Amino acid sequence: MYKVTENINFLSPYHNFMCKILKAMRMTLRTNHNFTINELKSNILSINPDVRGFINRGDFIDNIYKLKNCPIDLCKEYGKFVSRYKSVLNGKWKGKSKLTDETSKEFKAIFIFLYENLLGYKTFNIALFQTTSSLDDFRAVMSLNQVCPYCDITKVNKDIVSVDHFLPKAAYPILSIFPDNLIVACKACNEVIKGEKIYLPIAHPYYEEISNLFTFIIRENDTDRFEIEFAMNQENSRLTTQKVVNFLKLFEIEERYEKYMTAELQDFRAEVRKRAISELNGIAQTRSITNADIKHCTLKHFSEAVIDNRNLKRAVDGSKIKNDYINQIIAKNEFQKDIEYIETHFFGFASMIDN
C-alpha cells in the first residue's frame, strides 16, 4: 500500500548474472547448436570466474544446459518481459509466453528452479553477494522497521515475511528472477490471501505510493464495528483508479480492515483523548479548566495525531487508515463525543446534563 524505495535493487547482481548466462547461451547456440556441457561451463566461467565454487553444485549446470533445447530465444524472451513489465501491470500487454505452453513445462520449471534453488546455494551467494544467504538478507533489509507494503497493518521482520512474486511465477515463470517482481511482504498477504492470484491492471508498490491514490472512509455504527469504504482521488486517471481497485481487491483490504482495524482505531482515538487529558491536567494545576480549554485542546491533539510516515519510515502499522480516520474527524468537526468524554473527566456527568 506504500511505495517501497529502499534496497529494491538488492538482488540485481543475480539478475545481471542470469542475463549474462542467457546472452552467452544465445551466442553459443548461434555458432554451435550441439555444444557440450563442458563448453557451457567454460563459457560461464569466462562470464564470472567467481562462480567456480558452485558451478558443479546440485542441478545448476544440468538445468542451464537443458535450456539450449528451448524452442524460443530465452534471452530475447526475458528482455521482452522485463521491458514490458509495466505494460503487463497496466493491462496493456497480455504477457503471453511460450514458456507457459504445455510443451514447455520443463523450461518453465527450470526458471522456477533458478529462483527457488539457486538462490539457496551458499557458494553461489558468496560469489555474487558476499553472504551465505541473499534471500534471508533481502528479507531482513526490506523488512527493517517496516510494515507490510501490501496491507499496511502487519509489522514485519525477516522471520515472519516471505518473498512474493508479484506477477505469479506459475503464470509468468520467466519473471521468476526479475528483481522488480520480487517483493517482501507478510505471510498473510502473500501465502494465505494472494497466492497465485493477480488482477490486472494493478498498482505496484515499487512504482506507486498507492496510499496517496485513495482515502479510507470510516463509518461508525451502533454495533461497535466500523464499516470501511474507499474514495478514489478525483485526480486519478481511469487506469490508475482501476489499478488501485484491483490492488485493494487482491489483498482483501476492505474485509480485513473491517475485521481487524475497528479496535485499532478505537484505541488510537482513545490515545488522542488521553494526551488531551494529560495536557489539561497540567493546566488544572494553575487554574480552573473551562469548556473552551477542552474544545481547544481536543482539536489540537487530534490535529497533532497525524502520523508522519516520512520521518517514521512506515514503522507504525495501520498508519494510512489512522491518518484518514483522524483527518475525517477533523474535516467533519466530529469531536463532540470526545469533548463530552473529556468534560466528564473534569466536571462529571453534570456537565453533560447542563449542555
pLDDT-derived band of residue 188, with 50, 70 and 90 as boundaries? very high
Is the predicted pLDDT of residue 254 greater than 90, yes or no?
yes
Q: How many residues does the chain have?
A: 355
Q: Would the pLDDT of 58 be above 70?
A: no
Across all residues in the chain, what is the average pLDDT?
Answer: 88
Q: Of the candidates 292, 314, 79, 44, which has an alpha carbon nearest to the alpha carbon of residue 175?
A: 79
DSSP state of 61: H
**Banded model confidence at residue 162, pLDDT cuts 50, 70, 90:** confident
Give me the half-sphere count of Cα atoms (radius 13 Å) on the Cβ side of residue 288. 3
Residue whose C-alpha cell reads 530465444 in the numeric block? 73
HSE value, Cβ hemisphere, 13 Å, CA-based, for 15: 17
Q: What is the pTM of this model?
A: 0.89
Provide the residue ranges of all domains of the chain, joining segments of one domain with +.
11-192, 210-347
| Cα–Cα dist 250/13, whole Å | 30
Residue 78 pLDDT > 80: yes
Q: Can you tell me the mean pLDDT for 133-158?
A: 85
The pLDDT of residue 98 is above 80: no
Helix ranges, the chain (H): 12-31, 37-47, 60-66, 74-83, 85-89, 105-116, 122-129, 134-142, 187, 238-250, 253-284, 291-304, 309-312, 319-331, 336-347, 350-354
Q: pLDDT of 15-39, one tens digit each?
A: 888 888 888 888 888 888 888 888 8
Checking if the pLDDT of 352 tops 50, the result is no
DSSP 194: I
Give the per-residue pLDDT at 222: 66
Residue 353 has pLDDT above 70, yes or no: no
Cα separation, 13 vs 354, whole angstroms: 71
pLDDT of residue 33: 81
Highest mean pLDDT among 142-151, 233-242, 293-302, 326-335: 233-242
Kindly tell me if the per-residue pLDDT of 185 is higher than 60.
Answer: yes
Q: How confident is the model at residue 49 (pLDDT cuts 50, 70, 90)?
A: confident
Overall average pLDDT of the 246-263 stretch:
95
